[in-house]
Amino acid sequence: MYTVPLPRIGADVAWRDAAKRLLGAAVPPEDILWDDDGTASGLFATQTPLPPVTRRIKVPQSFVELANTVVWHNDPQRFARLYTLLWRLRHQPGLMQDRADRDLAKLRQMEKAVHRCKHKMKAFVRFRDLRQGGERRSFAAWFEPTHHTVEPTAPFFARRFADMDWMIATPDVTAQFVDGNLSFHPGQPKPDLPDDATEDLWGTYFCNIFNPARLKVQAMTSEMPKKYWKNLPEAQHIADLIAGAEAKVQEMRDTAPTLPPQRAAAIKRQLDRKPPAKE
Amino acid sequence: MASLSLQNKLAILSDAARYDASCASSGTTRRDSRDGKGLGSTEGSGICHAYAPDGRCISLLKILMTNFCIYDCAYCINRVSSNVTRARFTVDEVVQLTIEFYRRNYIEGLFLSSGIIRSPDYTMEMIVQIAKRLREDEHFRGYIHLKTIPDAAPELIEQAGLYADRLSINVELPTDNSVKAYAPEKNPETIRKAMGDVKSRKDVAKERSYTGKRGKRFAPAGQSTQMIVGADAATDATILGQSTRLYGDYKLKRVYYSAFSPIPDATAKLPLIKPPLVREHRLYQADWLLRFYGFDVDEITSARPDGNLDLEVDPKLAWALQNRHLFPVDVNRASREMLLRVPGFGTRSVGRILSTRRHRTLRYEDLQRLGASLKKARAFITAKDWSPGELTDSADLRARFAPPPEQLSLF
């Protein structure tokens, strides 16, 4: 029996390394205990060292891509599920194309969940200006991802916000980007971030870009689930926008047409004098 | 006039911009700022950073430079004869708002439009100036969508295309006659000419010179347009016919359909209606069938004699119900073209069916795992362990999908 402890930071590399060694030594899935959170190592204190790297393991590229995503899922079974598929791939090289296979379908579903979580993180992280002075501006955000998505998503923020320093703190892992260097640290409780006046402007924009005549609350919540709202500054306006929508539209309907402002006539005269088109 | 605060201007000028449906930020070149000398990135697919309670994605800071306008388009909140409060951003204000919103990860970039002030050239010049400041002074590498003003000088459009990812110009209404009736100062031919110019500039930019060098990138995310639906009497057949021409002639990336929606201080010329949201949705579905599923306009719009789409069921299902003699389709043998016509099968599930059936004969349960919507598809397919029997031809098949009748409300 092998017990493989996996660290919270760098789990992808650790799992890949262990899987290569175990597969190289032909260790079947049922002889491995993948220890996600450090609980299993206490139960089975005697750890068998992992087998040495013996040979190059060839796996389909599509498996590598799948594994690189699924390792960030929050299901404690993810490592075991991946290894089981890897084990089956030895004798079924075409397996990756079989979308109807149960094991693979489950992993694809998990992959989709991680992709969605990464996407939502890219969308919903909200930075606040720390106003620290200095050459580079610095910003910080608090975010609560569903899966372990900080590590695979941080490079996106590094590519996008390279000319500023930033930190994304989460209960799971915290990412820091300082002077162009990205680093990861253990998760933390929610930090106290200073108020940022730009959030009010953003709220103003959110309220005014909303069209009250097209209320579709479910279309909003399916893409921006409520679990994210507490960390989105604009979400505080949602309840009032929904409550006031009907009255606003009714007002537009009830208002009698007005007379054009005075300048309208003057502008019309001017336009009539010189045709605007120059074809 | 008393000067407005930035907050007030933003309120007025985003309120004025919300009738433009597009908020797309995808399909442009890949860029990033890893060199540390700029801000922003674009990586193929855009990101919706928030959703308003109208269910629409907020991806870009979508604002007007000003809502002063010398034109008098009946459907528009900003027409000269309206009494809405007017405001105008300075170049600096738009640049700062974009950059500060972007740094906080609120947006993918800027979608800048404007009312026409003084002249089309003057207005276009101001728009270009903002884009230039963002790109050259702020080194902004995020997404920029600029509205091009019909009648503006070609040099200005050319500059706009060098700074912007996407250009758009709205055809406004589905027919030339409607444009003449409701937007008297706009000329449909001029609008089409402007779209043609953008297309040919894009074509030129793609060609290589004799040294093999490529031209400067011109609006890499292409151009789009918008049509207001429900303000005039045009049928869906007319609207989709117009879209097909636009996609074909001008290589548009997208045609947006915008349900005519109540505006403050409306004109008596165009009474307010409840925005036809279902109709708008069906038009988008039909638009997709035309572009990705191999349907012709006539096939989609001939289902009903009045030339409008069925509001109760989606256009693919409506087509299938009309053409039951072609079904059921065997998922283990049918061609890609035919599978794409099965209600409940999307382009992705069809791709998965094709790759999976090389390995096994597909059963009903397999299809579920592939992500197909079998509630719709089951009546139109056969699989190894599934046959719809009488279902395909049953008289009440349509009733199974259409929503139960409900009392109509006035609004």
Q: Region A197-211: what's the mean pLDDT?
A: 97
Q: What sign does the CA torsion over A181, A182, A187, A188 have?
A: positive
Q: State residue A278's pLDDT score.
A: 45
Is residue A108 within 8 A of residue A66, CB to CB? The reply is yes
Nearest Cα to Cα of residue B243 among B297, B191, B312, B311:
B297
Q: Could you give the count of Cα atoms lying within 13 Å of A4 in the half-sphere of its Cβ?
A: 27
Contact status of B43 with chain A (Cβ, < 8 Å): yes
> Are B81 and A260 in contact (CB < 8 Å)?
yes
Tally C-beta pairs within 8 A across A and B.
222
Q: State residue A279's pLDDT score.
A: 39
Q: Token pair for residue A200?
A: 């009010």
| Residue B410's pLDDT band (cuts 50, 70, 90) | low
DSSP helix/strand/coil, B227:
strand
Least confident of A40-49, A96-105, B17-26, B261-270: A40-49
Q: Which of residues 76-105 of A touch B (CB under 8 A)?
A: 94, 97-100, 102, 105
Chain B residue nearest residue A118, CA to CA: B47
**Longest CA–CA separation in chain B, Å:** 75
ipTM: 0.93
Residues of B in contact with A213 (CB under 8 A): 261-262, 274-275
Contact status of B264 with chain A (Cβ, < 8 Å): yes
Residues of B in contact with A252 (CB under 8 A): 262-264, 266, 272
d(CA B144, CA B134): 9
Summarised one tens digit per residue, pLDDT across range B158-186 is: 999 999 999 999 999 999 999 999 999 99
Q: How many residues appear in chain A?
A: 279
Q: Region A93-114: what's the mean pLDDT?
A: 92
Is residue A206 within 8 A of residue A237, CB to CB? The reply is yes
Architecture of domain B6-225: Alpha-Beta Barrel (3.20)
Summarised one tens digit per residue, pLDDT across range B230-269 is: 999 999 999 999 999 999 999 999 999 999 998 988 988 8
Amino acid at B4: L
Q: State residue B3's pLDDT score.
A: 78
Q: In Å, what is the CA distance from B70 to each residue of A130, A271, B189?
A: 43, 8, 20
Contact status of B20 with chain A (Cβ, < 8 Å): no
Residues 6+ apart with CB under 8 A from B106: A126, A202, B49, B50, B61
Residues of B in contact with A279 (CB under 8 A): 189-190, 193
Neighbouring CB atoms inside 10 A of B55's CB total 20
| Residue to substitute from A120, A156, A214, interface B, most B β-carbons within 10 A | A214
Q: Token pair for residue B155?
A: 């040099």
Q: State residue A40's pLDDT score.
A: 56
Pairing of strands A181-186, B50-51: unpaired
Judge if the upstream peptide bond of residue B328 is cis by omega within 30 degrees of 0.
Answer: yes
Closest Cα of chain A to B20: distance in Å?
A: 10
d(CA B339, CA B345): 7
Q: State residue B389's pLDDT score.
A: 87
> Are B359 and A97 in contact (CB < 8 Å)?
yes
Q: Token pair for residue B80?
A: 């000269």
Residues of A in contact with B267 (CB under 8 A): 257
Query: Which burial class, exposed, middle or buried, applies to A229 when counting CB atoms under 10 A from its CB (0-12, 13-18, 19+)?
Result: middle
> How many helices, marked H, and strands, marked E, lie in chain B?
15, 10
Q: State residue B71's pLDDT score.
A: 92
Residue A81, φ and ψ in degrees, nearest 5:
-60, -45
DSSP state of A5: E
Pairing of strands A165-169, A173-178: antiparallel
Q: Is the pLDDT of residue B219 over 50?
A: yes
d(CA B194, CA B151): 8
> How many helices, marked H, and strands, marked E, lie in chain A?
10, 7
Summarised one tens digit per residue, pLDDT across range B289-303 is: 999 999 999 999 988
Least confident of A57-61, B111-115, B316-320: A57-61
Closest Cα of chain A to B322: distance in Å?
A: 30
Amino acid at A260: P
Least confident of A37-51, A67-81, B114-128: A37-51
Nearest Cα to Cα of residue A80 among A36, A26, A14:
A36
Is residue B228 within 8 A of residue B173, CB to CB? The reply is yes
**CATH 3.20.20-classified regions of chain B:** 6-225
Q: Which long-range contacts (CB under 8 A, 24 or more apart) does A244-248 make?
A: A244/A212, A245/A212, A245/A213, A245/A215, A245/B53, A246/A212, A246/A215, A248/A212
Q: What sign does the CA torsion over B17, B409, B237, B270 have?
A: negative
d(CA B9, CA B5): 6
d(CA A223, CA A240): 19
Pairing of strands A173-178, A181-186: antiparallel
Summarised one tens digit per residue, pLDDT across range B352-369 is: 999 999 888 999 999 998
Q: Is the pLDDT of residue B36 over 50?
A: yes
Q: Could you give the count of Cα atoms lying within 13 Å of B175 in the half-sphere of its Cβ?
A: 12
Pairing of strands A128-129, B254-259: unpaired
Contact status of A264 with chain B (Cβ, < 8 Å): yes
**pLDDT above 90 coverage of chain A, percent:** 76
| Residue A188's pLDDT band (cuts 50, 70, 90) | very high
Question: From the centroid of its chain, how far is CA A28?
Answer: 33
Q: State residue A62's pLDDT score.
A: 94
Contact status of B100 with chain A (Cβ, < 8 Å): yes
Q: Which residue has the higher pLDDT, B290 or A37?
A: B290
Is residue B225 within 8 A of residue B255, CB to CB? The reply is yes
Nearest Cα to Cα of residue B270 among B170, B184, B176:
B184
A131-135, A207-211, B215-219, range with greatest mean pLDDT: A207-211
Per residue, the 3-state secondary structure of B150-179, as one string, reads: CCCCHHHHHHHHHHCCEEECCCECCCHHHH
d(CA B175, CA A160): 42
Neighbouring CB atoms inside 10 A of B304's CB total 15
What is the 3-state composition of chain A as percent helix, strand, coil, each rounded to the nearest 5? Answer: 50, 10, 35
Chain A residue nearest residue B360, CA to CA: A98
Least confident of A45-54, A247-256, B390-399: A45-54
d(CA B91, CA B95): 6
Q: State residue A44's pLDDT score.
A: 52
Summarised one tens digit per residue, pLDDT across range B305-345 is: 899 999 999 999 999 999 999 999 999 999 999 999 999 99
| Residue to substitute from A205, A221, A263, A267, interface B, most B β-carbons within 10 A | A205
Residues of A in contact with B53 (CB under 8 A): 210, 215-217, 220, 238, 241-242, 245
Mean pLDDT, chain B, rounded, equals: 92
Domain boundaries in chain A?
2-119, 125-186, 198-254
Q: In Å, what is the CA distance from A279 to each residue of A108, A268, B201, B249, B267?
A: 56, 21, 18, 20, 30
